[in-house]
C-alpha cells in the first residue's frame, strides 16, 4: 500500500465482503480462525483454515516443495539471494514444458510474467493467491491453459524477514488473517522505497534476478490503507510520459479495461485506479492523482521499459475475498499475456531500443521528464463507495469520517493528466569521479554498463552548482533526504541546482556511463539532481555541501579592507546591506563572511559544486573497457 494511516484514524471499520454487506470486527480485535473441514489434499494452507491464517515462511516453502516434487517437469524453485537475516529468497518458475532457462524462453518468444508478493509482509494476499494459482496450473490443471505460451514466475515472500515478524497487531486497519508480517525488512527499511537507491540486500538480489529473467510484465501485489469503498480489487498500470507511447496506448486501450472486465466477470469488483482521496477528511471532494517515482517497484519498471501493474486489495474486505480477488486478476493477466504475447514482446523490444538511443543526440533540445505532477485537470468517474458522515472529533480535533454500510454510487472528479515538474536535456555520457564509490556502486547493483578511465583526465564539462539545500529532519528509510518523505513533489524544494560549465579533473578509475544502453533511464534518474529519487536527493552527495576551510577573523579584517579598497562597488554593496539588514549588521561573522564568500579562497571550497560531469562526447576521454 502507498497511503499512510492519516485517513484511517477515526474510520469505523464497517463495510462488505463482495456480494453482501457485513459487519466487520472492531479495530484492535484479531479475527478468529474458523474450523474448516477441507477434504482436498492439495488445499493451500490458507484454504485449510478457511482463510483464517496465512502460512509462515517454513510452511509456505514446504507447500511449494511438495508441488515441485509432484510436478517437477513444470515447476522449479530457484534461489536468487538472501535476506539480511540470512533467509533464502526464492522464485518459483512455472513452465508447461520444463524450460526453466530465461534465455531459452526469450528465444522462443514466450512471454514471462513476474509477480512479486509480500514486499510489505503484512500484505501477503498475493502469496496465497499464487499458491492457489500454481496448484491449479500444474496439479488440478483447471488453469493449465494459462501455461500455453506464458511462463509464470513469482516471488512468494520478497520481504521474508518482515514476513516472519508475525503478529495479530501489525496492521490495525486490515481484516485478517489472524497473524500477518511486518512492513519493513530486517533493518526496518521499506523495500518498496528502495528500488533506485538499492540500500537493502534484498533489493540488490532482486536486481540480479530481474535482469537474468527480464520479464515482459511485472506485478507487485499489495493491500491498501485509506478510504472505505465497495471495490475489493484496485489496480494501476503506468502510462505516464516516461512510458513509450505505444506501450501506454496498449495499457490504456487493452490491458486496463480488459483486466477490469475480467475481474468483474469472475465474482469481484475492480477499479482501475489506486484510490487516493484529494481530501482525506471529505471523500466527496474526489479522487487524487498517483505519482510513481522510481523508489517504488512499478515506478522503477518504467525505467526498465517494462509494463508493470500495482495490485491493491481492499484492506477492509475479508481475507478470502482479497486472496480470491488477487487470484482472478493474476489469472486474467496471464491469459491476456498468452494472447498478446507477440504484441507485448515487440513493445518491450521497442522500449529497449528507445532507451539505448537516448544519448545519440547529446545536449540537444529534447527534454527528458524527471518528475511528474498532476495537471490540475479532472474528469468525472463513477465511484462505488459507502455513505459516510463527518463530524468534528473531540479526540483528534479534526473532522472524523465515519463510513456506513449503505452503498454510495456517485460521480466524482478524478485528477487526470500529467505535468512535468522537472526535466533535463541528455548528455552522451556521465563521468563520476572514482572516489564517489557508493554512487557508482548503486549503478553497478543495477547492472548498468560502466566503463573506467585509464588515466587522470581534465576537461570542460557541464555540471551543476547547487545551493539552498535543506534536509528532512526525521529519518526516512534510514536517510535524511532533501525531499519530504513520501511526497515526491518536494524533491528539490529545499534548494536548486543550476547548470554550469566547469573545468574539472577526474582521477584514473573514474566511471564513464554512456547513454547508449538499455538502462539509460536508470542512469539519468540516478545522476540528474532534480530526479525525485536521485543520488543527490537521497543524500549520497551531502558532503559537497559542507564547507571545510574557513577564514579567521583577524585575517578577514585585513582582507575585507583590501577588497573594498580595490572594488568601490563591493564596498557600496556591503554598506547597503549593513544599512538595510539588521540581522546582518548585528553579526560580526556574517559581515566578515560576506567578504570571504566573494574571495578566491571561498571558491576553492567548491561548496555545492556537483562532482558528476555531463559529457557531450566521450572522444578524448581515456576510457577503457
Predicted confidence (pLDDT) at residue 303 exceeds the cutoff of 90? yes
Beta bridge partners of 612: none
| 35-44, 124-133, 435-444, 582-591: range with lowest mean pLDDT | 35-44
Q: Give the pLDDT band of residue 362 (cuts 50, 70, 90).
A: confident
What is the spatial order of strands in the sheet that 451-452 belongs to? 451-452, 511-514, 429-432, 613-615, 457-467, 496-506
Burial of 476 (0-12, 13-18, 19+ CB in 10 A): middle
Instruction: Provide the 10 A C-beta neighbour count for residue 449.
Output: 15
Predicted confidence (pLDDT) at residue 2 exceeds the cutoff of 50? no
pLDDT digits (tens, 9 = 90+) for 96-119: 999 999 999 999 999 999 999 999
Per-domain residue ranges of the chain: 16-357, 425-547+607-615, 553-603
The arithmetic mean of pLDDT across residues 456-470, rounded, is 95
Q: Which residues contact 531 (CB under 8 A, 6 or more apart)?
A: 294, 370, 371, 422, 491, 524, 525, 537
Closest by Cα among 146, 127, 137, 150 to 75: 137
Torsional class of 467: left (φ above 0), alpha (ψ -120 to 50), beta (otherwise): beta
Residue with cell 555520457: 429
Instruction: Find how far residue 381's CA is from the centre of its chain.
Output: 26
173 in helix, strand or coil? coil
Q: When comparing pLDDT for 489 and 194, which is higher?
A: 194
What are residue 225's phi and psi, to 5 degrees? -115, 180
Q: When comparing pLDDT for 254 and 2, which is higher?
A: 254
Q: What is the pLDDT of residue 18?
A: 34
Angle between helices 297-304 and 520-527 (to 10 degrees): 120
pLDDT digits (tens, 9 = 90+) for 320-349: 999 999 999 999 999 999 999 999 999 999
Closest by Cα among 430, 480, 469, 442 to 611: 430
285 vs 123, 484, 545, 590, CA distance in Å? 28, 25, 42, 49
CATH class of the region 16-357: alpha beta
Q: Which residues of 561-596 are buried (b: 16+ CB within 10 A; e: fewer)?
A: eebbeeeeebeeebeeeeeeeeeeeeeeeebbbbbb
Closest by Cα among 206, 209, 182, 210 to 194: 206
Q: What is the pLDDT of residue 32?
A: 53
pLDDT digits (tens, 9 = 90+) for 39-68: 789 999 999 999 999 999 999 999 999 999
Predicted confidence (pLDDT) at residue 85 exceeds the cutoff of 60? yes
The C-alpha atoms of residue 592 and residue 560 are separated, in whole angstroms, by 7
State the sign of the Cα–Cα–Cα–Cα dihedral 212, 218, 221, 225.
positive
Closest by Cα among 185, 40, 50 to 477: 185
The C-alpha atoms of residue 146 and residue 128 are separated, in whole angstroms, by 18
Q: Give the pLDDT band of residue 487 (cuts 50, 70, 90).
A: low
What is the SS3 string spanning 55-88? CCHHHHHHHHHHHHHHCCCCEEEEEEEECCCCCE
Whether a cis peptide bond, with omega within 30° of 0, leads into 229 is no
The C-alpha atoms of residue 168 and residue 282 are separated, in whole angstroms, by 30
**Strands 451-452 and 457-467: what pairing?**
unpaired
Predicted confidence (pLDDT) at residue 12 exceeds the cutoff of 70? no
pTM tops 0.75: yes
Q: What is the pLDDT of residue 419?
A: 84
Amino acid at each position: 500500500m502507498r497511503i499512510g494511516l492519516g485517513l484511517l484514524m477515526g474510520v469505523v471499520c464497517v463495510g462488505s465482503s463482495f456480494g453482501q454487506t457485513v459487519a466487520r470486527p472492531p479495530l484492535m480485535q484479531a479475527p478468529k480462525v474458523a474450523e474448516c473441514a477441507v477434504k482436498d489434499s492439495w488445499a493451500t494452507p490458507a484454504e485449510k483454515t478457511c482463510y483464517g491464517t496465512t502460512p509462515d515462511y517454513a510452511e509456505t516453502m514446504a507447500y511449494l516443495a511438495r508441488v515441485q516434487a509432484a510436478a517437477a517437469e513444470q515447476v522449479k524453485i530457484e534461489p536468487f539471494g538472501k535476506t539480511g537475516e540470512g533467509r533464502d529468497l526464492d522464485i518459483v518458475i512455472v513452465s508447461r514444458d520444463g524450460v526453466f532457462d530465461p534465455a531459452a524462453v526469450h528465444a522462443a518468444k514466450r512471454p514471462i510474467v513476474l509477480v512479486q508478493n509480500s514486499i510489505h509482509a503484512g500484505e501477503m494476499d498475493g502469496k496465497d493467491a499464487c499458491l492457489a494459482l500454481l496448484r491449479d496450473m500444474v496439479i488440478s490443471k483447471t488453469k493449465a491453459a494459462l501455461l500455453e505460451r506464458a511462463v509464470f514466475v513469482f516471488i512468494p515472500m520478497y520481504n521474508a524477514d518482515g514476513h516472519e515478524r508475525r503478529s495479530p497487531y501489525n496492521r490495525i486497519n486490515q481484516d485478517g488473517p489472524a497473524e500477518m508480517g511486518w512492513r519493513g525488512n530486517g533493518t526496518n527499511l521499506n523495500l518498496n522505497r528502495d528500488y533506485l537507491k538499492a540500500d537493502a540486500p534484498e533489493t540488490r538480489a532482486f536486481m540480479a534476478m530481474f535482469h537474468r529473467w527480464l520479464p515482459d510484465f511485472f506485478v507487485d501485489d499489495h493491500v491498501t490503507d485509506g478510504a472505505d469503498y465497495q471495490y475489493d480489487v484496485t489496480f494501476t498500470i503506468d502510462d505516464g510520459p516516461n512510458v513509450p507511447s505505444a506501450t501506454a496506448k496498449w495499457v490504456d486501450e487493452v490491458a486496463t479495461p480488459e483486466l477490469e472486465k475480467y475481474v468483474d466477470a469472475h465474482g469481484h469488483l475492480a477499479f482501475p485506479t489506486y484510490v487516493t482521496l484529494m481530501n482525506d477528511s471529505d471523500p466527496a471532494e474526489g479522487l487524487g492523482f498517483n505519482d510513481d517515482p522510481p523508489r517504488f517497484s512499478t515506478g522503477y519498471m518504467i525505467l526498465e521499459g517494462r509494463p508493470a501493474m500495482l495490485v491493491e486489495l481492499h484492506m477492509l474486505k475479508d481475507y478470502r475475498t482479497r486472496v480470491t480477488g488477487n487470484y482472478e486478476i493474476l489469472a486474467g493477466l496471464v491469459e491476456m499475456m498468452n494472447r498478446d504475447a507477440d504484441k507485448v514482446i515487440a513493445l518491450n523490444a521497442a522500449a529497449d531500443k528507445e532507451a539505448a538511443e537516448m544519448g545519440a543526440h547529446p545536449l540537444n533540445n529534447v527534454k527528458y521528464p524527471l518528475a511528474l505532477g498532476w495537471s490540475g485537470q479532472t474528469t468525472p468517474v463513477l465511484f462505488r463507495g459507502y455513505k459516510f458522515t463527518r463530524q468534528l472529533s473531540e479526540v483528534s480535533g479534526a473532522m472524523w469520517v465515519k463510513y456506513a454500510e449503505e452503498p454510495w454510487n456517485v460521480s466524482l472528479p478524478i485528477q487526470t493528466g500529467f505535468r512535468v515538474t522537472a526535466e533535463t536535456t541528455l548528455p552522451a555520457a556521465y563521468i563520476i569521479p572514482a572516489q564517489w564509490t557508493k554512487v557508482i556502486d548503486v549503478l553497478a547493483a543495477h547492472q548498468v554498463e560502466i566503463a573506467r578511465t585509464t588515466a587522470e583526465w581534465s576537461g570542460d564539462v557541464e555540471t551543476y552548482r547547487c545551493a539552498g539545500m535543506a534536509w528532512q529532519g526525521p529519518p526516512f528509510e534510514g536517510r535524511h533526504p532533501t525531499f519530504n518523505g513520501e511526497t515526491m513533489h518536494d524533491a528539490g524544494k529545499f534548494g536548486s541546482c543550476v547548470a554550469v560549465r566547469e573545468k574539472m579533473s577526474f582521477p584514473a578509475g573514474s566511471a564513464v556511463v554512456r547513454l547508449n544502453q538499455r538502462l539509460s533511464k536508470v542512469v539519468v534518474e540516478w545522476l540528474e539532481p532534480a530526479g525525485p529519487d536521485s543520488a543527490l536527493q537521497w543524500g549520497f552527495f551531502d558532503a559537497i555541501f559542507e564547507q571545510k576551510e574557513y577564514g579567521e577573523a583577524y585575517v578577514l579584517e585585513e582582507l575585507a579592507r583590501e577588497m573594498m579598497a580595490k572594488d568601490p562597488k563591493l564596498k557600496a554593496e556591503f554598506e547597503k546591506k549593513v544599512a538595510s539588514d539588521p540581522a546582518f549588521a548585528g553579526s560580526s561573522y556574517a559581515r566578515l563572511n560576506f567578504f570571504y564568500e566573494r574571495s578566491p579562497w571561498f571558491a576553492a571550497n567548491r561548496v555545492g559544486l556537483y562532482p558528476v560531469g555531463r559529457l557531450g562526447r566521450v572522444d578524448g576521454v581515456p576510457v577503457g573497457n
